[in-house]
Structure 1
Amino acid sequence: MFNGDTLVSWRRRATAGALSFAAAGLLAAGCTPVGEPATAASGASGAPVAAPVFDGDPLPFGPDGFGRITVGMKEEEALLTGDLQAAPISTVLGRNVYSFVGGPQPDPSRMASDEELEDKVSKADDPSAAKDSGNVAQLYADSTKRTLERMHAYLEAGGASFRGGYLDNIAAPKDAVTAEGIKRGSSRADLEAAYENLGLAKGGDGHYKMPAGRDWQLIFEMDRDKVKYMSLARRL
């Protein structure tokens, strides 16, 4: 769903006007404001689910996961934990994206609109199809704008994304804290001090990333000198 440079690449793409659907990345999530949470007692089909598969104490946000959602977990296992809402808020771009219980709920009309737009962009990417250059450019612009909006909504609310039935990203919600005490609003100095000996590296546009085991990394998005978002991402 999300690799360490997705947000950076989107910003650059939007600025430069190189609006490629194939490289668009994370998600096109149809989110609504927080309301009554979906029940965690039933699966996406409405059938009852079994007890959580993770019986230990919830994890702080970090390289192993968050809450009862752990690295390497299958989608069906993650849903059994009760940490995620029962139905995805997005199914676009080959990924199922879920919010945490109490977070944004699915907006079917917006999801359908997103799918329709991405279908049009996908057809525009077909080299064998006849194209109106002005229309294609507008489709790319609309797709990138919508994707950026959904991506920021996802990072703001927190959630988890699955591709091929396996976890590939966790966006930390507002109240998440790492074992080292880093959270949204933590200072740049505190972030660097907490992870300076653990491979923390500054990337483009001021974000930080840190290795988190095989094929995973922690991402810290910054707003000036404060942590704005945290995510755990499987590297592509």
Structure 2
Amino acid sequence: MLAAAVVLIGGGACSSESSPDAAVPTAPEVFGPAGHRGLTLGMAKDAALAGGKLAAAPTSTLDGCADFSYPGGPAPDPARMKAEADVEAKDLNKKADELEADPEPKPGASAEESAKSAEKSAEDAQLFADAVQASADLAGKREERDKVFVAAGGASFGKDGLRELAAPADAKTAEGIGAGSPLADLKTAYDAKGMKVGDNGRFQVPVDGKPDWVYEFTVSGDKVGSVSMINAKSKCG
């Protein structure tokens, strides 16, 4: 009986040894020229959606671009999307352009003609004012849309395919820059690579091996707020 006990104890000790096939931690996926999470720069929208790499419904379709979250990301906000559609529907700029091409009639000789001319002038002035306000409202909705998109991460598609890829909060570039990185580290990593501040106020630097694509970094205080890659030449709808 004692010998049997010894055998059982020895067998238990052997089974507690670590397996040579134990999983080895893998390095985090880089957010860079190869894309991220199976999404590649310029890929077709249908291909991206078919693979389940993105949520099924867009979070914005403003300007004809379709923005999608990563699975588990923010769901579409019907109220925000309706507000975007309402602003976009106020296409007054075209009418304003038509007015500029149609010379204003000169005051007529009679009082009636002069009154009609004055009425048209007032209507035209109001249309121009409305067009200016509509343009400002649309610009505001675009800025709001862009902030929400890069903060949450996801993919935006235009007529030529994927036009912008925004990194999730935990992703980093090959140089180790991601949301929350110090501004000093951003400059150390990319100043020598030609980083500049774009017209939209974001720091921009070319993406290696991808013509027309640039990294865009938003900055809040002394920290990086978000990271994305965008093809500025790619158009929406």
Residue in 1 aligned with 2:94? 125
Kindly tell me: are residues 202 and 135 of structure 1, through their superposed partners in 2, closer, same or farther at Cα, counting changes over 3 Å? Answer: closer
For residue 91 of structure 1, report the CA deviation from its aligned partner: 1.8
The TM-score normalised by the length of structure 2 is: 0.66
Matched, 1:227 2:193: no
User: Deviations along 1:13-57, whole A, 9 cap, x unmatched?
Assistant: xxxxxxxxxxxxxxxxxxxxxxxxxxxxxxxxxxxxxxxxxxxx9
Identity, % of aligned positions: 39
Contact kept in structure 1, 2:29 and 2:171, CA below 8 Å:
no
More strand by share: 1
Quick one: distance in 1 between partners of 2:47 and 2:63? 22
For residue 201 of structure 1, report the CA deviation from its aligned partner: 3.1
Kindly tell me: are residues 134 and 72 of structure 1, through their superposed partners in 2, closer, same or farther at Cα, counting changes over 3 Å? Answer: closer
Quick one: distance in 2 between partners of 1:206 and 1:124? 26
Q: Residue 209 of structure 1: which of 191, 194, 204 is its match?
A: 204
Q: Residue 168 of structure 1: which of 141, 163, 168 is its match?
A: 163
Kindly tell me: are residues 205 and 147 of structure 1, through their superposed partners in 2, closer, same or farther at Cα, counting changes over 3 Å? Answer: closer
Which secondary structure state, in structure 1, belongs to the residue aligned with residue 170 of structure 2? Answer: coil
Question: Which amino acid in 2 is paired with 1:222?
Answer: V
1:15-164 map, 5 Å = 59-120=29-90, 122-126=91-95, 127-128=97-98, 132-164=127-159
Kindly tell me: are residues 224 and 110 of structure 1, through their superposed partners in 2, closer, same or farther at Cα, counting changes over 3 Å? Answer: closer
Quick one: distance in 2 between partners of 1:195 and 1:183? 13
For residue 133 of structure 1, report the CA deviation from its aligned partner: 3.3
More helix by share: 2
- Tell me how large the CA RMSD over aligned residues is: 2.4
* Structure 1: runs of 5+ lacking an equivalent: 1-56
Quick one: distance in 2 between partners of 1:199 and 1:76? 34
* Structure 2: runs of 5+ lacking an equivalent: 1-26, 100-123
Contact kept in structure 2, 1:60 and 1:67, CA below 8 Å:
no
For residue 218 of structure 1, report the CA deviation from its aligned partner: 0.6
For residue 106 of structure 1, report the CA deviation from its aligned partner: 1.6
Residue in 2 aligned with 1:24? none
Quick one: distance in 2 between partners of 1:166 and 1:82? 16
Contact kept in structure 2, 1:58 and 1:68, CA below 8 Å:
no
Looking at both structures, which has the greater relative contact order when contacts are Cα pairs under 8 Å and sequence separation is at least 6?
1
The TM-score normalised by the length of structure 1 is: 0.67
Residue in 1 aligned with 2:112? none
Which secondary structure state, in structure 2, belongs to the residue aligned with residue 116 of structure 1? Answer: helix
Question: Which amino acid in 2 is paired with 1:81?
Answer: G
Contact kept in structure 2, 1:58 and 1:66, CA below 8 Å:
no
Q: Residue 190 of structure 1: which of 185, 191, 199 is its match?
A: 185
Kindly tell me: are residues 133 and 235 of structure 1, through their superposed partners in 2, closer, same or farther at Cα, counting changes over 3 Å? Answer: closer
Quick one: distance in 1 between partners of 2:138 and 2:43? 30
Quick one: distance in 2 between partners of 1:154 and 1:220? 13
